[in-house]
Amino acid sequence: MQEGTEGRALVAGVASLREPRTTMGGVNLVAGFRPELWRAIVPHESPATLEGFNRPIVGADFTMPATQHDAVLWISGSAYDVVFDVARQAIAALRDVARIAEETSSWPYHHDGDLTGFIDGTENPTLIEAPDLAVIPESGPGAGGSILLLQKWAHDAASWEAQPTARQESVIGRNKLDSAEIEDKPADSHVARTDQDLFGKIFRRNMPYGTVTDHGTMFVGFSSDQRRLVAMIGRPASMSSGPRSRLTRRRNSAGG
């Protein structure tokens, strides 16, 4: 927020933003707020235990930095020019109450691909199942909303691509061609350390970002229960029992 701005003014400004009303070249706009800010404005509309990413995730030899912001806007669309125009309009509308802390441009990569060359979101629930897992139910505070985990991971693509496919598959825990889970995968493979059967299902939509010389992945995870997200990011960093995910040795956590 801008210095001296009240949280209520920021929430009102973001709430006033609108997607363009068109059947051609439209965009989707997702907005979110730091839990503590949202709770101060509407105390009865936030899960009681929900909190921001206020402390770094620290493992035995690895740290995920905490870069919690007051608000987030995610603008997506089929054409970059429309996304660009809507983003500029949104920033102009909010200039009196907010400043840009970080801006990242993302794009789809080979349909559902990740910059590692593997298929992303293999374990995602179907679109029919997703609302039950990602949207807070009507019975509780924050009904209709979702809890977002957004992390930025920088890649060393040249180092990764220099590894033979078999070694890449060992790091991920899946076959590269068809994304089938490897039965005897290593305990420190990424799939083993982020097994949703252990901490619960979420809905994720990762997006590559950046340029040829500076790029990576934006991890986007939605859940109706923050405990699933906390467990999911703690295990790769070896906060709990077990080894650190080998994939975190090939990526650098740049914020979350």
Q: Catalytic residue numbers?
A: 120
Asked if 171 contacts 251 with a C-beta cutoff of 8 angstroms, the reply is no
Give the tokens for residue 110: 């080979």
- HSE value, Cβ hemisphere, 13 Å, CA-based, for 24: 0
Asked if 251 contacts 153 with a C-beta cutoff of 8 angstroms, the reply is yes
**What span, in angstroms and rounded, lies between the C-alpha atoms of 30 and 129?**
20
Tell me the C-alpha to C-alpha distance, in Å, between residue 33 and each of 50, 81, 105, 242. Answer: 12, 26, 20, 33
**What span, in angstroms and rounded, lies between the C-alpha atoms of 109 and 111?**
6
**What span, in angstroms and rounded, lies between the C-alpha atoms of 119 and 205?**
12
63: closest CA among 200, 242, 233, 243? 233
**What span, in angstroms and rounded, lies between the C-alpha atoms of 103 and 108?**
17
